[in-house]
Structure 1
Amino acid sequence: MTISDDDKVILDGPAIEAEGLADWRVLLGVLHARFETGGFNAGVTLVQAIGAAADEMDHHPDVDLSYPRVDVRLSSHDVGGVTRRDVVLARAISEMASRLGATPAPSGTSALELALDTHDPAEIAPFWAAVLGYDLAGADEGTDLVDPFGRGPTIWFQRCEEHPAPHQRWHLDLRVPPEVVEERIAAARAAGGALVRDAEAPRFWVLADAQGNQVCLTTWQGRTHA
């Protein structure tokens, strides 16, 4: 597939809506679709068809296969948004799903963001990128931290007035392989964070960014159930 300049233009919400992609919803700059397949083998067949079409177009979506559905996410990573390439592939995927008897379920799609109030995003964004293993870009403007593997929720920073270290009503628990814990802790501390408590290690370690917001790194070790 030859990519033209038009294929690299990011489409806004109204432009995507005008394309009439009934099976798809645009969420946080990504096209999302869910197809109910009714069975695992039917889902495998649909995923194989999507893979063949994606290879032919040289444009590849993120696909999750489970029983009894297939979830698909489409965006153009080289420009950071939805382009004409995504629209063309979305139509092709919808046609394949219809031929294979899969039922579109766009109301089942969603995209989770976590917002953290802060008076200074630049002070704490590197910590959260380091401890979560996320990509850091533009956080000083209050924009997103993004999971490079497309699995975790987006983190964004909402500006507020300066306040003392918060008494959190919620925090993040991040389960990681045991062998990566020391590297994550070192990266988080180098990014301005602190190790708050390790008395319960290797079950979990408590870390905090420079403004006192806490996160736990957890592993299966020291637990009855993994």
Structure 2
Amino acid sequence: MDIVLVPGMWLGGWAWYAVAPLLEAAGHRPHPVTLPGMERGDVDRSATLADAVAAVVAQIDACDGPVVLVGHSAACGVASLAVDARPDRVARAIYVAGFPATDGQPLVRGYEPVDGVVPLPAWSQFDDADVRDLGEGGMAALTGAAVPTPWGIVGDAARFAGDERRYDVPVTAIATEYSSADLREWIAAGAPQVQEFTRIRDLTFVDIPTGHWPMLTRPDDLAEAILAQPPIGTGRIRAAVSAKRFHEAPGLEEWRVLYWGAYAFYATGSFAEAARFTAAIGDISAAVGHEPDVDVRPRGVTVRTFTRSDGGLSESDVDLAQRVSAVARELGLRSDPTQVQQVGIAVAEAPDADSRPFWAAAFGYDELGLTDAVDRHRRGPHLSFQPLESGRSGRGRMHVDVSVPREIAEARVQAAVAAGGRVADASHAPMWWTLASPDNHGVDIAAWPDFEGSDHDRA
């Protein structure tokens, strides 16, 4: 199915770069739209709201059949006006972190134009909820990629044509920095900016708890939510599972949640024994419909399972891990959680630098989200990119992250100190420790993924 993706303020079609491939992999045709005046570079930014709506309508008309129309933030208003213009061509509208337009009102309030545009404000102007999961690296990357929004797009008064058929188009409202419960309360209280929702005859609410830019912070969850909506899907969304929830599931005592997924190690006496176990895992994978990563060595098999491209877990991972553990017990294999770990490399860069493309090219990696680069075959350490802290003299601009089970983290720290290192920062223990080598290079011993959702995680 054709899925038209319209990004909000300061963004171009590029913003869907992590979502669009997931939609395409599921057999659909994503069409990211860059609204007029939102191109990068020195371009005419005198576009109006009518121009923006016309661009979306043109993309709808270019598709062969009915489309799913996805709007983000202020572009939810643009999308709703496109629904009004083509109610017979939109099978469903999905409004992400935003609301449909209000007749006679501009799409946004609280911004003042500067030379006919609205530049991205300073991050201090956003609420904490807006920037949740974005991180300093994400903020720096978004600052570098953002383009000023033409005032005409967000400042012009919206005008519906009056075609009541727009209320027959099913709508999904995806709540991100606020909850769907909040949105329902605003609707019930008569808040003017959300009253268009009251006229929609088929309205579904979905929560993706994150900040205002879920296509950047939680692209897997956003793609899954889009794919779940009828007529694409059945409405069922696989819920994310925290480390706490994973560990509470029965039969998973030998599993640990590290960077990029949940892991278990099983000792084997020979390659043939490891291969038999791996074949059994293959049968489990086929039965569950979920594929793990398996590292096979003569003296042991390491299994990693995850659902999201950032390593996030779902109930599918719980199911698969339980079955793998049961088969391992049947085969008499001994597990050893102390043998699992995951290594990452963190690169610090100046605020105005963008070294990620270089590192991704040098490693042959794919860029992921705003701050990472990963091995598409999941063999090498992941790369993350962080702003360089000013005044941090005498330290390298790169450090290594070592993700380990929480029960061995402190012992790993002690071993590194005994080998000549020192603890540079223990303020986040037992979540992680920052160590310095004898020549002052940094290593983080990280146990925090295994604490996710626990009291330590909330501390």
Distance of 1:52 and 1:43 partners within structure 2: 15
Distance of 1:22 and 1:91 partners within structure 2: 10
Q: Hey, what does 1:202 align to over in structure 2?
A: none
- Which stretch has the larger CA shift, 57-66 or 112-121? 112-121
Distance of 1:9 and 1:122 partners within structure 2: 36
Q: Between the two proteins, what is the percent identity of the paired residues?
A: 33
Please tell me the residue identity of whatever aligns with 1:151.
R
Deviation at 1:61, TM superposition (A): 0.6
Please tell me the residue identity of whatever aligns with 1:106.
P
Q: 1:135 to 1:87 in 2, by over 3 A?
A: same
Match of 1:158 among 372, 386, 391: 386
Describe the SS at the equivalent of 1:112: strand
Q: Normalising to structure 1: TM-score of the pair?
A: 0.65
Q: How is 1:91-102 mapped onto 2 (pairs within 5 angstroms)? A: 91-102=322-333
Q: Hey, what does 2:431 align to over in structure 1?
A: none
Distance of 2:350 and 2:397 partners within structure 1: 19
Distance of 1:11 and 1:60 partners within structure 2: 17
Distance of 1:6 and 1:13 partners within structure 2: 22
Deviation at 1:29, TM superposition (A): 3.7
Unaligned runs of 5+ in 1: 172-226
1:60 and 2:291 aligned: yes
Deviation at 1:137, TM superposition (A): 2.5
Distance of 1:154 and 1:102 partners within structure 2: 30
- The CA deviation string for residues 162-192 of structure 1, in whole angstroms up to 9 with x for no partner, is 69xx996989xxxxxxxxxxxxxxxxxxxxx
Match of 1:33 among 259, 264, 272: 264
Higher relative CO (Cα under 8 Å, sequence separation at least 6) belongs to 1
Q: 1:78 to 1:28 in 2, by over 3 A?
A: closer
Distance of 1:168 and 1:78 partners within structure 2: 29
Q: How is 1:59-78 mapped onto 2 (pairs within 5 angstroms)? A: 59-77=290-308
Please tell me the residue identity of whatever aligns with 2:268.
T
Given that 2:365 and 2:374 are in contact with CA atoms closer than 8 Å, whether structure 1 keeps it comes out as yes
Given that 1:29 and 1:75 are in contact with CA atoms closer than 8 Å, whether structure 2 keeps it comes out as yes
Given that 2:345 and 2:398 are in contact with CA atoms closer than 8 Å, whether structure 1 keeps it comes out as no
- The CA deviation string for residues 65-123 of structure 1, in whole angstroms up to 9 with x for no partner, is 11111111101146851110001110100010111111011110000011112223861
Describe the SS at the equivalent of 1:86: helix
Q: 1:62 to 1:38 in 2, by over 3 A?
A: same
Q: Hey, what does 2:229 align to over in structure 1?
A: none
1:138 and 2:366 aligned: no
Pair member with larger Rg: 2
Given that 2:255 and 2:337 are in contact with CA atoms closer than 8 Å, whether structure 1 keeps it comes out as yes
Q: Hey, what does 1:103 align to over in structure 2?
A: 334
Query: What is the aligned-residue RMSD (CA, Å)?
Result: 3.0
Given that 1:34 and 1:71 are in contact with CA atoms closer than 8 Å, whether structure 2 keeps it comes out as yes
Q: 1:137 to 1:58 in 2, by over 3 A?
A: same
Please tell me the residue identity of whatever aligns with 2:375.
D
Q: How many residues align?
A: 166
Given that 1:9 and 1:84 are in contact with CA atoms closer than 8 Å, whether structure 2 keeps it comes out as yes
Q: Hey, what does 2:248 align to over in structure 1?
A: 18
Distance of 1:106 and 1:16 partners within structure 2: 15
